[in-house]
Amino acid sequence: MADPVNLNRYRKDKARAERRAQADENAVRFGRSKAQKSLAKAQADKAARDLDGKRKD
């Protein structure tokens, strides 16, 4: 006869693993350092200024 399985423990372990996988995915997607964020903002600002400078009146 097989050992009994605690379904609550299985359910909680599965949910915990899914949350951890989601957290790892979010860290890859959104996890940037402050320097990287400021560099990207500076590049976007420069691109906007360059575009405005080429606009005809």
Distance (Å, whole) CA 50 – CA 13: 52
DSSP state of 9: H
Distance (Å, whole) CA 30 – CA 17: 20
Do the domain assignments include residue 32?
yes
**Residue 48 has what pLDDT?**
95
| Confidence tier at 2 by pLDDT (50, 70, 90) | confident
Domain range for 29:
7-53
Do the domain assignments include residue 42?
yes
Number of structural domains found in the chain? 1
Query: What tens digit of pLDDT does each residue of 22-48 get?
Result: 999 998 888 888 899 899 999 999 999
Distance (Å, whole) CA 33 – CA 13: 31
- Residue 10 burial (CB count, 10 A): 10
Do the domain assignments include residue 2?
no
